[in-house]
């Protein structure tokens, strides 16, 4: 079939601007991660989104999420720049920065006497490819004066299934060192039940795609009920992410979900807001 020249031109143009944006993001990420000579305004920073225990709705920890605010490009979402960091190998430096930054924050909160429970940090699939990931992370945490028992590590189901044997080994080491592990975006990958049984993870974090239409979808309800009952039989906790509505929360509470997170309780917030809203009496 002959291609419509107008369409080809349009697609190429779109492609070109897509590549250009990727390139700009990569260049900028490189710059902020590697050029520290001049003290620049902090473009990269962390925000924290609370978790609530159910049914009490008490603070059960936070998830640390990275943010990038570029002076000209504006706010770039991690959904956009994390994949680029992964494609270009910058993810290792970025993760290193994230872990250090969160450690500093937790040391500070600890010194101020704040009970932050555990703080979750997202781990990229690529980091698990490194057999020494557990050792490297442990030394990073210890060197900064933080403690593994302050952390939960969120690892996606897909990342785990990419290298099941190695992942189990790494998770065992992390757990022995007193980190806790949660399987993120649970339900969107394909873990076998055999595998799940032996996985050293304390928590299954149900993906928000199952929560979104929960109220109208009997299929989503069935999945959620099954995940909660299976997790509990295996001695694991269930966290629901992306909870926005009272009705979703009521359903989760009625079916024994342990922890919830989402805009219903709070968006990800700055460090200042965290101490104002959660730690000040």
* Chosen residue from 105, 122, 237, 248 binding ligand C2E by CB under 6 A: 122
From residue 182, alpha-carbon distances to 13, 159, 216 in Å are 42, 12, 27
Residue written as token pair 């930054």? 101
Distance CA 180, CA 162 (A): 20
Does residue number 184 form part of the binding site for Ca ion (CB under 5 A)?
Answer: yes
- Smallest gap from residue 217 Cβ to Ca ion (A): 19
Would you count residue 185 as binding Ca ion (CB under 5 A)?
yes
Closest approach, Cβ 113 to ligand C2E, in A, equals 26
The answer to the question of residue 29 lying near ligand C2E (CB under 6 A) is no
In which element (H, E) is residue 263 found?
none
d(Cα 86, Cα 94) in Å, to the nearest integer?
A: 10
- CA-only gyration radius of the chain, Å: 20
Shorter beta-carbon distance to Ca ion: residue 28 or 237: 237
* Shortest CB 75 distance to Ca ion, Å: 18
Query: What is the four-CA torsion angle of 107, 112, 113, 117, rounded to 10 degrees?
Result: -50
Measured from the CB of residue 88, what is the shortest distance to Ca ion in angstroms? 20
78 binds, among ligand C2E, Ca ion, none (CB under 5 to 8 A by kind): ligand C2E
Q: Of ligand C2E, Ca ion, none, which one does residue 248 interact with (CB within 5 to 8 Å by kind)?
A: none
Q: Using the rule CB under 6 A, is 242 a contact of ligand C2E?
A: yes
Q: How far apart are CA 43 and CA 38, in angstroms?
A: 13
Task: Please give the Cα distance from 108 to 102 (Å, whole number).
Answer: 10
Closest CA relative to residue 60, chosen from 266, 261, 264? 261
Identify the residue among 52, 54, 66, 153 touching ligand C2E (CB under 6 A).
Answer: 66
Applying the rule CB under 5 A, the residues between 145 and 164 that interact with Ca ion are 154
Question: At 241, is the secondary structure helix, strand, or coil?
Answer: coil
Which of 16-24, 73-81, 106-114, 173-181 is the region at the interface with ligand C2E (rule: CB under 6 A)?
A: 73-81
Q: Is 49 among the residues that bind Ca ion (CB under 5 A)?
A: no
Report strand pairing: 237-240 vs 259-260.
Answer: parallel
124 binds ligand C2E per the rule CB under 6 A: yes
Residue 184 binding ligand C2E, by CB under 6 A: yes
Strands 237-240 and 203-206: parallel
Position with the least CB separation from ligand C2E: 262
79 contact choice in ligand C2E, Ca ion, none (CB below 5 to 8 Å, kind-dependent): ligand C2E
Binding flag, residue 258, ligand C2E (CB under 6 A): no
Q: Single out the residue of 223, 262, 228, 225 nearest to residue 245, CA to CA.
A: 262
Residue 82, binding choice from Ca ion, ligand C2E, none, Cβ under 5 to 8 Å by partner class: ligand C2E
Those residues whose C-beta lies under 8 Å from the C-beta of residue 75, and which sit 6 or more positions away, are 67, 68, 69
What whole-number distance in Å separates Cα of residue 16 and Cα of residue 255? 49
Binding site for ligand C2E (CB under 6 A): 49, 65-66, 77-79, 82, 95, 98, 122, 124, 154, 184-185, 208, 241-244, 262-263, 268
Binding site for Ca ion (CB under 5 A): 122, 154, 184-185
């Amino acid at each position: 079939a002959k291609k419509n020249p107008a369409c080809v031109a349009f697609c190429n143009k779109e492609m070109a601007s897509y590549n250009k944006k990727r390139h700009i993001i990569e260049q900028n990420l490189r710059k902020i991660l590697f050029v520290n000579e001049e003290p620049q305004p902090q473009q990269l920073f962390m925000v924290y989104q609370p978790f609530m225990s159910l049914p009490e709705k008490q603070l059960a920890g936070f998830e640390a999420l990275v943010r990038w605010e570029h002076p000209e490009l504006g706010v770039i979402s991690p959904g956009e720049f994390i994949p680029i960091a992964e494609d270009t190998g910058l993810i290792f430096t970025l993760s290193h920065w994230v872990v250090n930054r969160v450690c500093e924050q937790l040391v500070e909160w600890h010194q101020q006497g704040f009970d932050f429970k555990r703080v979750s940090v997202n781990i990229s699939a690529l980091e698990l490819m490194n057999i020494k990931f557990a050792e490297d992370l442990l030394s990073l945490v210890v060197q900064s004066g933080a403690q593994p028992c302050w952390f939960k590590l969120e690892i996606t189901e897909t990342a785990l299934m990419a290298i099941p044997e190695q992942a189990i080994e790494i998770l065992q080491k992390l757990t022995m060192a007193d980190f806790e592990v949660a399987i993120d975006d649970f339900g969107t990958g394909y873990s076998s039940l055999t595998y799940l049984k032996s996985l050293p993870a304390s928590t299954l974090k149900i993906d928000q795609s199952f929560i979104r239409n929960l109220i109208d979808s009997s299929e989503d309800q069935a999945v959620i009920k099954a995940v909660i009952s299976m997790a509990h039989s295996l001695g694991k906790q269930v966290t629901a992410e992306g909870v926005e509505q009272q009705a979703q929360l009521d359903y989760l509470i009625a079916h024994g979900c342990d922890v919830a997170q989402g805009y219903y309780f709070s968006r990800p917030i700055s460090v200042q807001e965290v101490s104002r809203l959660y730690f000040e009496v």
